[in-house]
Amino acid sequence: MKYYSLNKKAAKVSFKDAVIKGLAPDKGLYFPERITPLPKTFFKNINTLSNVEIAFEAIKQFVSPEIPEEVLKTILEETLSFDFPIVTLNKNISTLELFHGPTMAFKDVGARFMARCLGYFNQNNTNEVTVLVATSGDTGAAVANGFLGVKDVNVVILYPSKKVSDIQEKQISSLGQNISALEVEGTFDDCQAMVKTAFLDQTITSKMQLTSANSINVARWLPQMFYFMFAYKALKSTYKDIIFSVPSGNFGNVCAGMMAQQLGLPIHHFVASNNQNNTVTKYLKTALYTPKPSVQTISNAMDVGDPSNFIRIQEIYKNKFETLKNNMSSFSFSNDQTRAAMLEIYTKYNYVADPHGAVGYLGAKAYLEKNPDSHCVFLETAHPTKFLDVVEHVIKTKQALPSQIQAVIGNTKVATKISKYEDLKKYLLA
C-alpha cells in the first residue's frame, strides 16, 4: 500500500515510511491511495470470528507488504489483549467500553499497535527514533505505556499545564526510562503546533529521526477501525440501524469509523459529539470551517479547536459537503449539560460514565430525538476514575481505583516546563 499527502505536494510513500515520517514533507497528513472493501461474507459471518481475526482482515491491506502476515498476527494478538464489552442501557442506547487496556483509555489500541510496528521496522536500524507527540490527556498516557522500553525509540510528550487530570499527568510523566514529559504553558493546540513545527524544522530533522504518535500517524489512526467492527459483531443480530456517537476532539476516532464503513461495515450514521470546542458542529451548520483557539472543559481530551483529522474525513467524502452531512451529524454540549448527563446515566442506569462518554451519550440522545427507531452506541473512551474529581463530585459516590490507576497514582511526576517553540527545539537538540 502506498500513502499520499493530503496536501498533494509530496511523493507517495510506503506504510513503513508513512509511520516513520508521521507527517509528509509538505505538512500534509498521509492517506492510503486506495480502500478495497472487504467481501460481504466477511460482515455476514463476523460473529464467527475472533477480535484478532477481524482486525487482521481489516488492517492487512493497509500495512502490506511491509509487515508480513505472521508478524502482523503477532502484533495484533499483543495489541488486543483485553476486552471491548458492550453495555446496553435501554432499547435505543448502548455504550462500547474502550477503557480496559493498560492506561484505561481507547488510545491504548492505536499506541500499542504503532509501538509494535515501529519496533519491527526499527529492529535492524542502528539509528534511534524520537517519537514526538502532543496530548490533551489520554494520547500521552497510552503512548508512554505503549512505547515504554521499546529499543532505540525515545518518546517526548508535550501536554498542556493544568489542563489534564492528575492521573493522566502521572501516566504521562512518571514512567521514566525512554519516556520524557514536557509541561507546556498553553493549550493542546499550542502543543500540537509545536510538534508540527518541529517536524518541519530542518535544524532538528537533520540531526534526528522524528515521528509522531498522535492520530496524525497512520499507525495510530487506522487501528481504531477495530472498535466499530467489534461493536457491530456484538449487536448485528439484535439491531438493524446501528449509529455510533463518538466523543470527538481531534476526530481520529470517528474518521477511523468512517474507514471501517468504507471497508463495507454496515454503519447507518455517525454522530460527532463535541464539547464547547465545536468547530465541526458549526461547520455542518454553515459549511464554513473556521478553527478557533480551544477552550478548557471537563472533557479535556476533546479540547481541540482545529482537529487535525478532519481533513481526512473530507478526503473520504471527496470534499462534498452534502455527502458528509448525510453521513454525520454533530452536536455540541456545555460542561453543565455534561455533568447533568453523568448524573442521569448514574441515577437511571446505575452506570458511571466519564465526562467524554457523557458527551457521547448526549449526542446519542440528540440524534434519537428525530430517529427514534435507531440504536445508538456511544463510545466510553476512558475509565471514569481517570477523572475522579469530576466524577465523584457529580454522582456523590466514592469510586474504587482499578489496578491500572493504583499502579501510577503514587508515582512522582517528572516533567520539564516549556512555554514556546524555541524551548522545545533546545530540549530536542540537547
In angstroms, the first-to-last Cα distance of the chain is 36
* Neighbour count for residue 151 (Cβ, 10 Å): 10
Cell of 301: 481530551
Kindly compute the dihedral angle of the four CA atoms of residues 270, 271, 274, 280, in this order, to the nearest 10 degrees. 60
Cell of 2: 502506498
> Which of 54, 5, 383, 96 lies closest to 223 in space, CA to CA?
54
CA 338 to chain centroid, in Å, comes to 20
Contacts of 116 (CB under 8 A, 6+ apart): 75, 78, 79
Q: From start to end of 161-313, where are the E strands?
A: 179-184, 209-212, 242-247, 269-274
* Interatomic CA distance for residues 223 and 208, integer angstroms: 27
* Interatomic CA distance for residues 406 and 389, integer angstroms: 16
Cell of 338: 455534561
* Annotation marks residue 413 as catalytic: no
The full DSSP string for 272-290 is EEE-S--HHHHHHHHS---
Cell of 212: 509522531
> Which of 248, 241, 232 lies closest to 269 in space, CA to CA?
241
* Interatomic CA distance for residues 251 and 39, integer angstroms: 27
Catalytic residue among 16, 107, 196, 386: 107
3-state secondary structure of 166: helix
User: How many helices (H) and strands (E) in the chain?
Assistant: 20, 14
Distances in whole angstroms, Cα of residue 402 to Cα of each of 16, 98, 357, 399, 405: 36, 15, 18, 9, 5
Indicate which residues carry an active-site annotation: 107
